[in-house]
A = this chain, B = another copy of it.
């Protein structure tokens, strides 16, 4: 069978529109009616003309026109003839790049996971980015009593900040260049926020820690400045947690990496096998299911899917937007 859907096509930088296309469900595929779709930082990069390198073989080539979208979830409306693990009506979270800015998307079943019991479908539809950020916070090596700095107050940074606070961080410090993001971080429980355009981050951390430095720094801003600042404020033998995907070369001063015996923890959930991701995702979402992390407050802007141009324009211009979503 097949379904006609509207779906986004990124024809070139700053040029996105909805087009009609037909989804034909193959025997090992399912078709999902979307509940909600979010704009990911990497989507925004592509919209702005920054294409990532081609990597995994199952991904489409990073070339315009590009069938954009991966952060979504919804309800299965059709299953291929050989699908055994899902049935029509099942609620699922998407973990593949399947042109998800659409009313319907098609997916191999290994690119999906069932929605965990009792998880709100608004949150579950953002299950992939939520799980990625939670996986980072949970595996950041944060210990009870630690001073933890999160570089970047975007969607991931806001989740990581909440996560490490709940894990017992004594002081959670969020660094960003936008006051709006910092205010939200504070509202969600950060102890201290720093606007790195206005204040000297190193001086503040030094004062807070009596010159020792932060126990853990989690880099979720994704810029050269942010990586260098992180390298500067970690304590001797402290932990540097990588989160961002940085697709352009950066110039880094890494002398302290060796000289101060920094420990590196690279936290990326979906960049392993799908078997790993399948197991780790349920662990990562457990605290969210238990209601310990506020996700709803991070959805700062909502659009109808039909207004996809307006949504991307806003996301491009208003860097204070945390998560922009579309509802079909």
Contacts and interface: CB of A to CB of B under 8 A. Distances in A.
Residues of A in contact with B, size category: 35 or more
Interface stretch (A10-18, A195-203, A239-247, A301-309): A239-247
A209 interface: no
Interface in A139-176: 143-145, 163, 166-168, 170
Nearest to A222: B258
Nearest to A117: B210
A268 interface: yes
10 contacts: A144-B292, A167-B167, A170-B290, A245-B259, A250-B251, A250-B252, A257-B266, A258-B271, A261-B271, A276-B279
A27 to B, nearest CB: 7
A109 to B, nearest CB: 9
A292 B258 contact: no
A145 B258 contact: no
A60 interface: no
Nearest to A275: B275
A46 to B, nearest CB: 14
Given A168-B167, A257-B266, A249 B251 contact: yes
A6 B137 CA distance: 53
B275 A258 contact: no
Interface in A219-276: 236-237, 242-266, 268, 271-273, 275-276
- 9 closest residue pairs by CB, A with B: A264-B264, A261-B271, A145-B287, A245-B258, A275-B275, A82-B82, A247-B255, A28-B84, A145-B286
Given A82-B82, A170-B287, A170-B290, 9 more contacts: A55-B259, A55-B260, A138-B143, A167-B167, A237-B272, A245-B255, A251-B251, A261-B272, A264-B266
A26 to B, nearest CB: 10
B254 A246 contact: yes
Contacts of A321: none
A37 B88 CA distance: 40
